[in-house]
């Protein structure tokens, strides 16, 4: 099922392209946009499940007596 990698590795140097008009510049920009969209979608998903009262929850999470 999911034991092969299904996602691309993130591109490096795909940001701060300096407005190059060449084909490679456009490709990188498109890749950057796709990644940004992917990240946006992920953030939305996380938002939907993230504990609402984060501050209180984290404050109340205390564990004693561990090895």
Minimal distance in Å, beta carbon 25 to other proteins? Answer: 21
Q: Which of residues 5-34 bind other proteins (CB under 8 A)?
A: 5-7, 9-10, 12
Cα–Cα distance, 34 to 8 (Å, whole number):
11
**23: part of which helix (H) or strand (E)?**
helix 23-49
For the four alpha carbons of 49, 55, 60 and 64, in that order, the dihedral sign comes to positive
Determine the interface stretch with other proteins among 14-22, 24-32, 50-58 (rule: CB under 8 A).
Answer: 50-58
Cα–Cα distance, 62 to 67 (Å, whole number):
15
Determine the interface stretch with other proteins among 17-25, 26-34, 51-59 (rule: CB under 8 A).
Answer: 51-59
Residues in contact with other proteins by the rule CB under 8 A: 1-7, 9-10, 12, 39-40, 42-43, 45-46, 49-51, 54-55, 57-58, 60-67
């Amino acid at each position: 099922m999911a034991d092969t990698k299904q996602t691309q590795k993130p591109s490096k140097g795909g940001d701060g392209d300096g407005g190059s008009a060449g084909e490679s510049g456009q490709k990188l920009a498109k890749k950057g946009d796709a990644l940004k969209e992917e990240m946006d979608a992920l953030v939305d998903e996380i938002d939907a499940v993230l504990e609402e009262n984060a501050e209180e929850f984290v404050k109340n999470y205390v564990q004693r007596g561990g090895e």
